[in-house]
Amino acid sequence: GAGVSQSPSNKVTEKGKDVELRCDPISGHTALYWYRQSLGQGLEFLIYFQGNSAPDKSGLPSDRFSAERTGGSVSTLTIQRTQQEDSAVYLCASSLAGGGNEQFFGPGTRLTVL
Partner 1 sequence: GQQLNQSPQSMFIQEGEDVSMNCTSSSIFNTWLWYKQDPGEGPVLLIALYKAGELTSNGRLTAQFGITRKDSFLNISASIPSDVGIYFCAGLYYTGNQFYFGTGTSLTVIP
The answer to whether 55 and 69 are in contact (CB under 8 A) is yes
Site string for partner 1, 39-78 (x = CB under 8 A): -xxxxxx--x-x-----x--x-------------------
Task: Give the other-Cβ count within 10 Å of 46's Cβ.
Answer: 21
Q: For partner 1, how many residues bind (rule: CB under 8 A)?
A: 25
Q: Does 16 bind partner 1 (CB under 8 A)?
A: no
The answer to whether 59 and 45 are in contact (CB under 8 A) is yes
Give the one residue of 21, 79, 94, 108 binding partner 1; rule: CB under 8 A: 108
**Would the CA dihedral through 69, 65, 17, 13 be positive or negative?**
negative
Q: Does 34 bind partner 1 (CB under 8 A)?
A: no
The answer to whether 56 and 63 are in contact (CB under 8 A) is no
Stretch of residues binding partner 1 (CB under 8 A), selected from 12-20, 63-71, 78-86, 105-113: 105-113
Q: Does 103 bind partner 1 (CB under 8 A)?
A: yes
The answer to whether 31 and 101 are in contact (CB under 8 A) is yes
Interacting residue ranges for partner 1, rule: CB under 8 A: 4, 33, 35, 40-45, 48, 50, 56, 59, 91, 93, 98-100, 102-108
